[in-house]
Structure 1
Amino acid sequence: MTINSAGAVGKQPLTLSWINVAFFGTFHALAILAPWCFSWSALGVMIFLHWLFGSIGICLGYHRLLTHRSLQVPKWLEYGLAIVGALAMQGGPIFWVAGHRLHHAHTEDPDKDPYSSQRGFWWSHMLWIFYPRAEFFEEQHYKRFAPELYRDPFYRWLNRNFLPLQIPVGVLLYALGGWSFVIYGVFLRAVVLWHTTWFINSAAHLRGYRSFQLKDNSRNLWWAAILTYGEGWHNNHHAHPNVAKAGYSWWEVDMTWWAIKTLQTLGLAKKVVMPPTSKASS
């Protein structure tokens, strides 16, 4: 199955990846088993891992640290945060960082932004994964946009081996709580975390308020910020991408920022980039 590249008349049509459809479809199908495997402890495991892999791994590790270099941490901690990010199953660090840097460099461009909202809600939410373009998904192409990570053998290894890391996670969860923990801690957690992250690409470019009048349509969306531990203050972020703090006003709760402040207090985070003085709040 193919579709035409929206906004790119005459360019090669996009081809549906049945491998990606099968992979994500299987996880969604297994996540549906959650009501039959319910326990409060399993739900607690899912919520904890959603926070750990989402806020600490993706938001802090992949996004604010590796992509934008909004802070500096010791190399051992940087590697640890990258591993936690890889456990979220949103791709390896080089893939994720390269794609997000392209998103900022060419925000909403229908051809250069991997998940451009100009192609519509469902494209920016998930169809960009089901119709993968070589320049965004093949390592020989996207590595150019995260060259410092690609030079590091550890990040090259992690970029190619992030999926097998789910095996020890699944084994540990099974040992702790059986299949209930596996369904909630691996499959339901992955599905919920995928969609909450994808809402930043889709919903946060369509709904919400704007504190900064930018050329793109990024928005501050309160419910997306709650689901993503602060990433939903997306208009703030697009105005100052290299700032470690996403919430600028007192009501803009940013749980990932709390984690960064904790690291800073412990002396583990240095050179933390702050918002312009007029926009920063404690």
Structure 2
Amino acid sequence: MAFNADILSAPNSSQEKAGETTASVQRPPTELRLNWVNVAFFGAVHLVALSAPWFFSWKAVGVMLVLHWLFGSVGICLGYHRLLSHRSLQVPRPVEYFLALIGALAAQGGPIFWVGGHRQHHGFTEHEDHDPYSSTRGFWWSHMGWILYSRPEHFDPQNYFRFAPDLARDPIYRFMDKWFLAFQIPLGLALYAFGGWPCVIWGGVMRAILLWHSTWLINSASHKWGYRNFQSTDNSRNLWWAALLTYGEGWHNNHHTYPNMAKAGLHWWEVDVTWWSIQALRKLGLVQKITLPKADWREQLVKN
């Protein structure tokens, strides 16, 4: 089993080059218009969440917390982000599909959409038109405005497929990308069978909302507040409370400096729960290749 200790620090790494993340392939930006389908969908889910106090039970809250970790840390942070978007580790293909499926259950979009958008973010970080959730447009745009004003250059499959051609070629990923939202139906039925409507409301609706906003805080809060270990060319920050909510993703300045690194936390206090899951997979012999920090990363730290 080989472990790669090299870091590809530039955002235009091999998988992003394959995704054509250069300004020359971008189309002119379109006029901003509300996507009323998205407004209605996210508005309706948030309204349903208002009923949560009437369905409260500790069992349901426990289910919500477990699924928040499973879908958030294992599915989104490990599967969609570190594995598929940056290829910072390599696992057997069945394991990769399984991790992607867990990510799809988070209801944050299909794997090709998520990965394609994230590679655009790294390829054009802070660019008002080409970065889907550029923080230069303001906090609320980078948090969720980019979804409510969904621009076709970021949401049209013909566009975002170009930034994730490695996934777009795979029929399994195309299936997940098309039907990810339908996966909530068997999940909802399983939650109902396990604990009735309280588990549906808390484990389904509340979990989805909390996980949405946790993930979006990395786009918004972690580009506004926090400290910097490295003098990166963008507004990324390390934000401790965002890292706790997102299982390590809040060490965002570290990540933007070394985007292909499988470990987001570098100092001892930068707790990275998702890294614990990667280590667990590694001990089980399921990690075939991993990108680790260079031994001299401390020499690059910002001098205070």
For the criterion TM > 0.5, the same-fold answer is yes
Distance of 1:270 and 1:13 partners within structure 2 = 45
Aligned partners of 1:94 and 1:155 also within 8 Å: yes
Q: Which residue of 2 aligns with 1:239?
A: 257
Q: Which residue of 1 aligns with 2:175?
A: 157
Q: Which residue of 2 aligns with 1:35?
A: 53
Deviations 1:155-210 (A, max 9, x none): 01110000000001100110111100000011000000000000000000000000
SS for the counterpart of 1:15 is coil
The letter of the residue matching 1:159 is: D
* 2:280 counterpart of 1:259: no
SS for the counterpart of 2:290 is coil
Q: Which residue of 1 aligns with 2:125?
A: 107
Q: Which has the higher contact order (CA 8 A, sep 6+)?
A: 2
* 2:116 counterpart of 1:98: yes
Deviations 1:57-84 (A, max 9, x none): 0000000000000001010000000000
SS for the counterpart of 2:71 is helix
* 2:195 counterpart of 1:177: yes
Moved over 6 A (4+): none
Aligned partners of 1:37 and 1:183 also within 8 Å: yes
Distance of 2:256 and 2:29 partners within structure 1 = 29
Distance of 1:223 and 1:262 partners within structure 2 = 24
Distance of 1:187 and 1:12 partners within structure 2 = 32
* 2:73 counterpart of 1:65: no
- Cα distance change on mapping 1:11 and 1:189 into 2, 3 Å: closer
Report the Cα offset of residue 214 of structure 1. Answer: 1.0
Report the Cα offset of residue 278 of structure 1. Answer: 3.1
Q: Which residue of 1 aligns with 2:71?
A: 53
- Bigger Cα displacement from structure 2, 271-280 vs 14-23: 271-280
The letter of the residue matching 2:39 is: V
- Of residues 291, 295, 300 in structure 2, which corresponds to 1:273? 291
Q: TM-score, normalised by structure 2?
A: 0.88
* 2:42 counterpart of 1:24: yes
Aligned partners of 1:249 and 1:279 also within 8 Å: no
Aligned partners of 2:30 and 2:151 also within 8 Å: no
SS for the counterpart of 1:202 is helix
SS for the counterpart of 1:162 is helix
Deviations 1:254-279 (A, max 9, x none): 00000001111111012110012134
Aligned partners of 2:29 and 2:153 also within 8 Å: no
The letter of the residue matching 1:69 is: R
Q: Structure 2 stretches of 5 or more lacking a match?
A: 1-27, 299-304
Identity between Structure 1 and Structure 2 (%): 65
Distance of 1:278 and 1:41 partners within structure 2 = 47
Deviations 1:5-56 (A, max 9, x none): xxxxx96421101110110011111112111111101000000000000000
Q: Structure 1 stretches of 5 or more lacking a match?
A: 1-9
Distance of 1:207 and 1:270 partners within structure 2 = 36
Structural RMSD (CA):
1.1
Aligned partners of 2:112 and 2:174 also within 8 Å: yes
Aligned partners of 1:21 and 1:130 also within 8 Å: yes
- Of residues 114, 120, 123 in structure 1, which corresponds to 2:138? 120
Distance of 1:270 and 1:11 partners within structure 2 = 40
Distance of 1:215 and 1:279 partners within structure 2 = 17
The letter of the residue matching 1:66 is: L
Q: TM-score, normalised by structure 1?
A: 0.95
